[in-house]
Amino acid sequence: MARPERLELPTYWFEASRSIRLSYGRVRTHRIIDCGMTEPGPVEIEIKLRVEAGARAAAELLNKHGYRERKTRTFQADQLFDLEDNALRDTGRLLRLRLAGGASILTYKGPPLGGPHKSREELETQIDDGSALRSILLRLGYQPGFRYEKYRTVFQRPDEEGSGEIGLDETPIGVFLELEGPADWIDRTARQLGFSSADYVTASYGSLYREHLKLHGGSADMVFDEAHRADGEPRTAKDVGEETGEQRPEEKRPPQEKRP
């Protein structure tokens, strides 16, 4: 029997007891399920809020409303994978390999479910060897696609443990607050921070970057440049020329911005 030209990974392909995390803090265990089954996984609910005033102002706003840093500022390098015919992208799905703080994390996201928030199935697990996993994906016919980077600091209120969390994202196209948790918590928190539903951004960073390119041009991937501003801020995509080669993430960290 001839081997298939490519094999798409099933949703459930990890060994038993791998942890699958809802990114606002809950943990679920996962058992092997027959590939023919389509049992839904956990659903993430989130929005982004653009902060034009920058990272310092965003951190001050969160501190003012009782939010405290729960996870320190960490560089995240994300690589999307898809089949040659873009089957995942065309059906609203996503397969991402993230390198962050020395960890390698594989994430599957299902098609958006609609509504005022960005809601979709999310399955996520930490991998011991990200390089080996990348090689496996390539051999299965997956190809690296869009690449994007950011610095994320996670905030949470001490009295809201387990409810939701806020990621302060410093990206090449600006600063965003990403609120993730139950829908009512997101709406309540956004109002407390001075935002309305009209400010909700439900587009992915890939979609936001494509819109950015139409206005400003730039490199194909949303990545930081080696050079940084004199005040220590990461350069924005508008300032970045074409990328020439791939650098290691630790070589690309701008100086830590002081926050209250």
Distance CA 39, CA 33 (A): 9
How many angstroms separate the most distant Cα atoms in the chain? 65
Distance CA 95, CA 240 (A): 26
Distance CA 145, CA 143 (A): 6
**Is 156 within 8 Å of 23 (Cβ atoms)?**
no
Q: Per the domain annotation, does 36 fall within a domain?
A: no
Q: Per the domain annotation, does 136 fall within a domain?
A: yes
Domain that holds residue 94: 18-30+43-252
Our count of domains for the chain comes to 1
Distance CA 44, CA 180 (A): 7
Q: At residue 141, what is the residue type?
A: G
SS3 state at 153:
strand
Which CATH number fits the domain that encloses residue 55?
2.40.320.10
C-alpha dihedral (84, 90, 91, 93), degrees to nearest 10: 70
Q: Per the domain annotation, does 1 fall within a domain?
A: no
Q: Which pLDDT belongs to residue 226?
A: 77
Distance CA 111, CA 86 (A): 14
Let me know if 213 is exposed, middle or buried by CB neighbors in 10 A (0-12, 13-18, 19+): middle
Q: Which pLDDT belongs to residue 225?
A: 87
Q: Which pLDDT belongs to residue 40?
A: 77
Q: Per the domain annotation, does 258 fall within a domain?
A: no
Nearest C-alpha neighbor of 105 from the set 135, 74, 129 = 129
**pTM greater than 0.85:** no
Task: Walk along the chain (260 residues) in steps of 10 and give the mean pLDDT of each run.
Answer: 47 36 36 49 96 97 97 97 96 96 95 94 95 96 97 95 93 97 97 98 96 94 72 40 34 46
The position carrying tokens 């996670």 is 154
Q: Which pLDDT belongs to residue 26?
A: 36
Nearest C-alpha neighbor of 24 from the set 139, 186, 150 = 186
Q: Which pLDDT belongs to residue 227?
A: 64
Q: Per the domain annotation, does 2 fall within a domain?
A: no
Q: Per the domain annotation, does 240 fall within a domain?
A: yes
Q: Per the domain annotation, does 37 fall within a domain?
A: no
Distance CA 137, CA 8 (A): 9
Q: Per the domain annotation, does 186 fall within a domain?
A: yes
The position carrying tokens 């080696």 is 226
